[in-house]
Each structure stands twice: as C-alpha cells, then as structure tokens.
Structure 1
Amino acid sequence: MTIQAPVQLRPDARDRIIDTLTTQKIPAEYGLRVGIRGGGCGSSWLLGFDLPGPADEVYLIDDVRVIIDKRHLLYVLDATIGYEESEDGRGFVVEKGG
C-alpha cells in the first residue's frame, strides 16, 4: 500500500510555505519536515525546512515537498497543517484527525 498524502495542507499553510521557500531562496532540494519531538504526553510537533535523509519518505502534497521520517509516519498520519494569525501571534498549527 502506498500513501499518497499522509498529511493535508490547508490553502493558507500551503501559500505561506511556498512564499517562505521563495522569499528565503531555500533550495529546491529542501522540503517541509513534519514529525514529532519527544514522546508520550510531552510530545510536540516538529515543522521546519530540511533536506531528506535515508530514513525519510518524501511526498509531493499540493506542490509542496513534505518530508516525513518513516518512524514518525504513524504519528503524523491524518494531520492537517494550517496557518493562523491572531492577537496572540501567528504561526503554523497542526490538527490531528481521528
């Protein structure tokens, strides 16, 4: 079984990612790394631009290269990445499907 898109990108997040890649002149070999940091109740989402390594799977989701470590795939499956701006600040948000 091949997973086509283990995570979803909301249009706001997709636009922000592509804009950042372009304005920061990040090389095309890079992609958005999606994963988890820590474990159990202390885990948090890991989002950042990175190069794929030997333990990674690379997906093209809505014209964005998404890099996921094979060991993290089960944890990030069905997550939706968005971008929000509020009075408290702005940034990417991750919602986990069920």
Structure 2
Amino acid sequence: MIYISDKAKQKVDALRAEGTLASDYFLRVSVVGGGCSGLSYKLDFDNETKPKDQVFEDKGIKVVTDLKSFLYLCNTTLEFSEGINGKGFYFNNPNAARTCACGDSFAV
C-alpha cells in the first residue's frame, strides 16, 4: 500500500479545486535511478493506467505505481509540507536505508 497524509490529500484536493486537474487524474508515483543516494522519487499526475500498474486508494486519492517501483515504495506515505522550510510533496519511506540531505533521493 502507498498512503497519503492528510496534508497531501488537502493539497491534491486544492489542485483539483483550482481546476488544474480533471477528476479522472490520479497520482503516479515511481522510483528512478539518480540523485546523490542512487534512487529518486518521481511524482506526476496521470490519467492512463498501464497493464502491470499497482493501484491503491487512500483517503479518496487514487495512487498508481509500476510493479518495480512498488518494491521500493511499499508502505510509503506521501506527505506535504509548506512554509519557509517546506518541501512541497515528499515521501516518508520506511524502506529507505539512507536519504540525502534534500530528501529527494534514497538508497535501500
């Protein structure tokens, strides 16, 4: 499962309310190579699923990931922070053995 924090849900709902996202769009989360720790998160809005996608829903938000990325993302929570030190969307990943200082990449 991939989880959504209350603040992340509020931000996604706000983006939809602004009219920037159609109601059929969902969050696509993936892991790609790169970053100072070796792996990086990728977060997009998408409206097309692929045959081997893993589909979850938490707090009314649909989250989709490819099978390979799910191996790294199992039990991860998508968070949102704002303000002077805010990061925007970020991931709280219990599978990460280490992360970089900026929090954009990780290693397992």
Aligned to 1:48: 44
* Identity within the alignment, %: 27
TM-score by length of 2: 0.73
Cα drift, residue 18 of structure 1: 1.5
TM-score by length of 1: 0.80
Question: Which whole-Å CA distance do the structure 1 matches of 2:87 and 2:33 have between them?
Answer: 23
Corresponding pairs, count: 93
Q: List runs of 5+ in structure 1 lacking aligned partners.
A: 1-5
Cα drift, residue 39 of structure 1: 5.8
AA in 2 matched with 1:56: D
Secondary structure of the residue that 1:73 maps to in structure 2? Answer: helix
Question: Which whole-Å CA distance do the structure 2 matches of 1:92 and 1:8 have between them?
Answer: 13
Q: Which has the higher strand share?
A: 1
Cα drift, residue 24 of structure 1: 3.0
Aligned to 1:86: 83
Cα drift, residue 54 of structure 1: 2.2
Aligned to 2:4: 9
Q: List runs of 5+ in structure 2 lacking aligned partners.
A: 96-108
Check if 1:77 corresponds to 2:74.
Answer: yes
Q: RMSD between aligned alpha carbons?
A: 2.0
Residue of 56, 61, 85 corresponding to 1:64:
61
Check if 1:20 corresponds to 2:51.
Answer: no
